[in-house]
Amino acid sequence: MKIVVVGAGIGGLTLALSLRATGNTDVTVYERAKEVRGLGVGINLLPHAMRELTEIGMADRIAGIGTAPHALAYYNRHGQQIWREPRGLAAGYRWPQQSVHRGELQLALRDAVQERLGDVIRLDNRLTDLDAAGKRPRARFDSAGQQIDVEADLIVAAEGIHSAARAMHYPAEGAPPWSGLTLWRGIADAPVFLDGRTMIMAGDGEQKFVAYPLSAPDASGRSRINFIAELRGPGVADADWNRAVDASPIAELFRDWRFDWIDVPAIIRSSEELFEYPMVDRDPLPRWTFGRTTLLGDAAHAMYPNGSNGASQAIIDARTLAFHLATAGSIDEALAAYELDRRPAMTSLLASTRSAGPERVMQIAAERAPRGFVDIHDVIAADELDDIANGYKRAAGFLPELLNARPSLTPGAAS
């Protein structure tokens, strides 16, 4: 079966590896960029994604580039703790959570694709048209200035939030809708905070700071810390992952966020580069599959970073599609099963991230106790905190007991 994958991002490369793992070797990946440069800052791979990456033999490489947080804690804008929960192996999962640099992950996936499938990544190939009619869909690429047409048994569009294929199927959709929040993302070499293995989120729906280490502390107690500073407004022109801005004015917006356990403005000031991005997502779609073409990852369901699920869900899409292609009676049945498994789940996860996902505890604490609290349980009952955290995990498919017991997406695997 000849399969064309559009986009050598996290989803497209994982799909190529997943197809290889189920015996499909006629796979070509077309990528717009002239080289895979490994861009971006940190992302989290949650245990449900780490399960899939482990089952395609990527666990050691990822452990080599990332670090495994063992807790997640939420704070208000006064630095008081609202909620803390174990993460990864500490939470009883069979797989860890890994915090990694997105670009390093992309390069690790690219290297694995080259080792296992050979020279199948076609750089400088931008999808410009897609003909989904008939049994052999056709993609047109601007290939280093030449127009080329490629026919396949299946074309998977994994070209991210600005997917050209999606725009062809939904021409009236326009730019990704803006939440009203602006994000500044960076990586700083800074002193570790708390125990050096905890991811934190502080603030509320108006202003927030998220941070987690990307490396173990060095001998002087410093590590690479990934962070996202977030503020309602001020408005950014378009969703470009690589727009660099000056850190000082952003650090100034957080000047009062100096707590005895973290110094937020100092971290922002010491970032190597700071990237500005509007917090945008995509509306859920009524359909991903058109003939023998389908959407995958952000092309299908770009979501807010609340809950750290964007890359993780792209990885699960890839493994699910490869599983159905290997086990269904035909390509059409496989695509129908993929969409049935993934699209309703992503529609509900998109709704959950739009209502702040697990970070809703921070908004509730700010509404009920804007000046802070003595005891968080005077503000939010323990059950309510628990329901919010577990409700999100259920929507995203990573309640520990369910994930640990779910059958593998490797055809024929024991569990």
Ligand X SMILES: Cc1cc2nc3c(=O)[nH]c(=O)nc-3n(C[C@H](O)[C@H](O)[C@H](O)COP(=O)(O)OP(=O)(O)OC[C@H]3O[C@@H](n4cnc5c(N)ncnc54)[C@H](O)[C@@H]3O)c2cc1C
What DSSP assignment string belongs to 52-91? HHHHTT-HHHHHHH-B---EEEEE-TTS-EEEEEE-GGGG
Which one, 29 or 364, has the nearer CB to ligand X? 29
Closer to ligand X by Cβ: residue 126 or 222: 126
Task: Show the beta-strand stretches assigned E in 207-356.
Answer: 207-213, 222-232, 244-245, 271-280, 293-295
Which residue's CB is nearer to ligand X, number 158 or number 395?
158
Total of residues contacting ligand X (CB under 6 A): 33
Tokens found for residue 109: 């996936």
Q: Which stretch binds ligand X (CB under 6 A): 2-10, 230-238, 371-379, 398-406?
A: 2-10
Residues 208-247 that bind ligand X (CB under 6 A): 241-242
Residue 9 as a binder of ligand X (CB under 6 A): the answer is: yes
Closer to ligand X by Cβ: residue 40 or 47 = 40
In what helix (H) or strand (E) does residue 10 lie, and over which residues does it extend?
helix 10-21
39 contributes a contact to ligand X by CB under 6 A: yes
Quick check: 116 and 58 in contact, CB under 8 A?
no
Strand 27-30 to strand 42-45: parallel, antiparallel, or no bridges (unpaired)? unpaired
Question: Among residues 268 and 369, whose Cβ is nearest to ligand X?
Answer: 268
In this chain, which stretch among 1-9, 47-55, 342-350, 386-394 interacts with ligand X, using CB under 6 A? 1-9
Most distant pair of Cα atoms in the chain: their distance = 66
Cβ neighbours, 10 Å, residue 369: 18
Nearer to ligand X, 297 or 357 (CB): 297
CB-CB contact of 41 with 185 (8 Å): yes
How many residues would you count in the chain? 415
- Say how many Å lie between the first and final Cα of the chain, rounded: 27
User: Could you tell me the smallest distance in angstroms from the CB atom of residue 367 to ligand X?
Assistant: 27
Interface map 135-174 toward ligand X (x if CB under 6 A): -----------------------xxx-x-x----------
* Under rule CB under 6 A, residue 53 binds ligand X: no
CA dist., res. 246 & res. 273, Å (int)? 8
- Applying CB under 6 A, which of residues 96, 278, 305, 357 lies at the interface with ligand X? 305
Note whether 297 binds ligand X by CB under 6 A.
yes
Beta carbons within 8 Å of 258's beta carbon, 6+ residues apart: 264, 265, 266
Q: Is 402 in the site for ligand X (CB under 6 A)?
A: no
Q: Per CB under 6 A, which region of 34-42, 84-92, 249-257, 358-366 contacts ligand X?
A: 34-42
Of 230 and 298, nearer to ligand X (C-beta) is 298
Minimum Å gap between C-beta 161 and ligand X is 6
Tell me if 204 contacts ligand X by CB under 6 A. no
Q: Are 306 and 356 in contact (CB under 8 A)?
A: yes
- Give the Cα separation of 410 and 407 in Å (integer): 9
The residue whose Cβ lies closest to ligand X is 9
Residue 8 sits in the site that holds ligand X (CB under 6 A):
yes
Measured CA to CA, the distance from residue 269 to residue 266 in angstroms comes to: 5
222 class by beta-carbon count within 10 Å (0-12 exposed, 13-18 middle, 19+ buried): middle
Closest approach, Cβ 17 to ligand X, in A, equals 13
Is residue 68 within 8 A of residue 89, CB to CB? The reply is: yes
Closest CB to ligand X among 129 and 332?
Answer: 129
Nearer to ligand X, 314 or 365 (CB): 314
Under rule CB under 6 A, residue 185 binds ligand X: yes
- Nearest CA to 54 among 404, 324, 337? 404
17 touches ligand X by CB under 6 A: no
> Whole-number minimum distance, CB 159 to ligand X, in Å?
4
109 contacts ligand X (rule: CB under 6 A): no
Closer to ligand X by CB, 104 or 204: give it: 104
**Long-range contacts of 209-218, Cβ-Cβ distance < 8 Å, separation of 24 or more:** 209/254, 209/257, 209/264, 211/262, 211/267, 212/42, 212/44, 212/69, 212/99, 213/67, 213/69, 213/99, 214/42, 214/66, 214/67, 214/99, 214/100, 214/101, 214/187, 215/67, 216/67, 217/192
Q: Is residue 107 close enough to count as binding ligand X by CB under 6 A?
A: no
What letter would DSSP give residue 346? H
Q: Which residue among 5, 6, 113, 366 contacts ligand X (CB under 6 A)?
A: 6
The smaller minimum CB distance to ligand X, of residues 6 and 82, is found at: 6
Which residues are near ligand X by CB under 6 A?
Answer: 6-12, 30-33, 39-41, 43, 102, 126-127, 158-160, 162, 164, 185, 241-242, 297-299, 305, 310-311, 314
